Amino acid sequence: MNPKERAILERINTLEEAITRGREYLESGAHADWHGFRPVFVPKTRDGKPVPPHRDWVRNVFLPAREKALRDAERLLERHRPFAGAAGPIRSNRASLRLQPRQELDEVP
């Protein structure tokens, strides 16, 4: 396994873990203090204690963004890995996508 594939697999594992923690937070409130939920700029506090993330934010922003990133990473990994039984990496199929000259109706058997 080359370093690019290893990095993509690590990213996939990280995203799957984040999605799992997000879903567990929605179900039971666990992982409320997880560093992945922390605000980027200014942490919210109430009475001097950090406020957990809003459930709507986790449901409507956090999870969809991580799920899309996971799909993109899986797609990227598929591009880097060869087909089962193929000799080399997956290559572009552009040549087969080019338009072929139009055949006349008389030429079709």
CA 52 to chain centre: 24
- 54-81 pLDDT, tens digit per residue, is 999 999 999 999 999 999 999 999 988 7
- 13-36 pLDDT, tens digit per residue, is 999 999 999 999 999 999 999 999
Give the residue among 76, 80, 101 at the shortest CA–CA distance from 90.
80
